[in-house]
Structure 1
């Protein structure tokens, strides 16, 4: 199908983009990679009257180390994450996850900001952002504010973004040196959303888990932070009992939809399997 009629804008600064969003109101939508919005427009499931293309806003594309944090501009693409030496050294789990997003063509165009901002429960990066303790910079007519990723997601496609606001930057604390990490993703075919996925970052001390964080993708209407599952393995050597306890605690907060990827019980089962695999692989990487 063909999208409905719309007006097209290409601002060259965040300030101009925010002004356009505020003045054009509810009929305006920002355009980043376009992999969610454009297909919905073609199917007439979304009919914005105005598109604000962010590709002319150069200040939204960067990767910088700032003390103990990595700051990433919202228009940074998945391909640029994969090519970044800074990300590879400080946040390698982002590269692991980015490599599992769709296919190379999508990764060349798809942006980190678009992936985390639209509230799609199937997107890979939101659960990682929550698990890593990231925060988002939101800029709007009233100025800028920071919102923790853990507080950003309110429901499927519902987020903390207020009318006229734009997500401009992601700030991520750098995990401890020697940490282990893993992103385990089960999907039906290349390019598909996860049937279930789990992200883990942990540290080990004297053969036991010292710290741990676990995020879950596409197993609820929002990304999940599996705090009880992480607590279940702290102080353990990741023996079978600890792994089972973590998987059971993770399954207790899962509420996936039954869809073409499988019934609810199957998706919860494989969600627990992804948690176990991610914990084991992260521990193997920890120094």
Structure 2
């Protein structure tokens, strides 16, 4: 990866076309706030409570520790939030060549994702496993994406991990260890990153993609995020941090801790 928004998208497409296994996990603003132990969530979906959900934060932080040339991490864009970019980057163990944008499938690449990646997926003869919202039906997923298996995730993803961590890990072990050359599409919010990390540890012989909300218009038949419906948002090209810029993550976290102490 060269931290070029369009170029990195092309590289990921090329890797998919090559049939070689790889993983891509995306850490955006929600994940950054969890890692900073700040309250965050999506209405009616999930909530992170500072100091009450620390096991989830620990699992999310651990998922950033893989050092493998075939495992890629997406970070918050520097122009969106310098401190989030610095925080997540500082917690990764990966080399720069394994880092790219968390929004790689959104903003200025979203149309390309739907027009270029989805047809590739449908034409592929590889088994495709979808992990995501339990409200989706398997027939809908088969029609839209040509999936071969569906692993539903229900309820608040943070509480789901709290209640069913061992059960989920055992299920991932089963699916990943029996697959070779399969494509796992993961849409599980912050939990999705933890799941991709666990899948890769079981088997590095598959493709694991954190698709997040990028497929929502196709699967739900309606936009769920601003970049789905706003032409100006879909024209945005995120920027990487310029060399020589000062770190901002430490300062922001210190201010957050001071505020909690008051």
Asked if these proteins are the same fold (TM beyond 0.5), I'd say no
Q: Which has the higher contact order (CA 8 A, sep 6+)?
A: 2
TM-score normalised by L of structure 1: 0.24
Higher strand share: 1
When you count helix as a share of all residues, which structure comes out higher?
2
TM-score (norm: length of structure 2):
0.25
